[in-house]
Amino acid sequence: MTSPQPTTTPVTHEDASPLIEVRDVVKAFGNRTILNGISFDVPRGETMVIMGGSGCGKSTLLRHLIGSLKPDSGSIKLFGEETTGMNEEGLDSIRRRFGVLFQSGALLQSLTVGENVALPIQEHGRVDDAIVDLVIKMKLEMVGLTGFEDLKPAEISGGMKKRVALARALALDPELLFSDEPTSGLDPVMTAVVDKLTQDLTRKLGMTAVVVTHDMTSAFRIGTRMIMLGTGDRQGKIIAEGTPEEIMNHPDPMLQQFIKGEADGPIPLRLSKGDYLKRLLGEAQP
């Protein structure tokens, strides 16, 4: 006898296969292993938050996802296509379907704010200048920067650059958005605005997002799935994965320390090992 299955999947999309599939990705720089067998899926429409302490390989992982770095081994599939062995031409056709917000913003300093946002539109299609102009205004309005079109990136603040970079990443209405620390350098109100924007885009328009952050408020606000990367002995491994509730109640002490922001714990206060006095004074100690 089987009882009728309760419908546990609240959202059903036409395409059930995950948008991003990462399998056993390993990357080492010299003899330092940064990523050590990372595997996860990001289903369509989800917001995946990648957390972890400094130096845990969050940004490196993101660089692998966007095709800037190639893993030593393992497989990465975007939109169902394997990107690890792809040539530049193939990568370019995939890259047109996603937007990336870099940690530093990475705006072109020689162009104005408006030209920066217009760049992907002008490069990837023959669009009338009037329409480009309209799109620039719409995208800047979204990030609260109307009227800043004619300034150079050097003339605006760090947080504003971040928002311009977000507007540029969204210029082509991508299906998928990667952001590296989208809220660092923003004030609390702007953080909330950017989070709200990400939420609206994912929940209302079905965009998928992968967000690297260590801002816990923001992470729990926007994330629908989360992974935490480990440091120290568990460098380059996923130590926890799940929904925000699962992560919040996860037993792992390192994760709990991270969420609560405590100075000492499983992640030691002093990261360097060995006798402190000996390191300070060398062998010549009394």
Partner 1 sequence: MKYYLQLNGKILYWLLVAPWRKQSFKFSQVVAQVNRIGVDALPMVALTSFSIGLTLAMQGAHELQRMGAAMYVPNLVAVSLLRELGPLLIAIIVIGRSGSAITAELGTMKVSEEIEALGVMAINPVRFLIVPRFVAMLIMLPILTVFGNYIGIVGGWTICHFALDMDTAAYVLRSIEAAQLGDLYSGLIKSAVFAWLIVTIACQAGLQVEDGAEGVGTATTRSVVFSLLAILVANAILTGLFFFF
Q: Tokens for 222, please give them.
A: 């926007």
**Does residue 102 interact with partner 1 by CB under 8 A?**
yes
**Angstrom distance (rounded) from CA 261 to CA 226:** 17
**Does residue 264 interact with partner 1 by CB under 8 A?**
no
**Does residue 117 interact with partner 1 by CB under 8 A?**
no
Q: Is 133 exposed, middle or buried (0-12, 13-18, 19+ CB in 10 A)?
A: middle
**Angstrom distance (rounded) from CA 83 to CA 76:** 6
CB of 103 to partner 1, least distance (A): 8
**Angstrom distance (rounded) from CA 162 to CA 147:** 16
Contact between 52 and 234 (Cβ < 8 Å): no
**Does residue 275 interact with partner 1 by CB under 8 A?**
no
**Does residue 120 interact with partner 1 by CB under 8 A?**
yes
**Does residue 100 interact with partner 1 by CB under 8 A?**
yes
Among 15, 72, 92, 246, binds partner 1 (CB under 8 A): 92
**Does residue 95 interact with partner 1 by CB under 8 A?**
yes
* 8-state DSSP, 3: P
Number of residues that make up the chain: 286
**Angstrom distance (rounded) from CA 212 to CA 137:** 27
36-55 positions binding partner 1, by CB under 8 A = none
Interacting residues of 218 by C-beta distance below 8 A, sequence separation 6+: 182, 183, 191, 195
**Does residue 281 interact with partner 1 by CB under 8 A?**
no
20-39 positions binding partner 1, by CB under 8 A = none
CB of 115 to partner 1, least distance (A): 11
CB of 161 to partner 1, least distance (A): 11
Contact between 119 and 108 (Cβ < 8 Å): yes
Quote the Cα angle for 223-105-70, to 5°: 75
Q: Would you say 77 or 234 has its CB closer to partner 1? A: 77
Taking the C-alpha atoms of 112, 116, 118 and 119 in order, what is their torsion angle to the nearest 10 degrees? 130
Q: How many residues bind partner 1 (CB under 8 A)?
A: 23
CB of 121 to partner 1, least distance (A): 11
Q: Count of alpha carbons within 13 Å of 147, Cβ hemisphere only?
A: 1
165-194 positions binding partner 1, by CB under 8 A = 168
Among 13, 124, 278, 279, binds partner 1 (CB under 8 A): 124
Contact between 164 and 170 (Cβ < 8 Å): no
CB of 96 to partner 1, least distance (A): 5
**Does residue 121 interact with partner 1 by CB under 8 A?**
no
**Does residue 104 interact with partner 1 by CB under 8 A?**
yes
**Does residue 67 interact with partner 1 by CB under 8 A?**
yes
Among 107, 227, 240, 255, binds partner 1 (CB under 8 A): 107
CB of 120 to partner 1, least distance (A): 5
Interacting residues of 55 by C-beta distance below 8 A, sequence separation 6+: 231
Residues that bind partner 1 (CB under 8 A): 66-68, 88, 91-93, 95-96, 100, 102-104, 106-110, 119-120, 123-124, 168
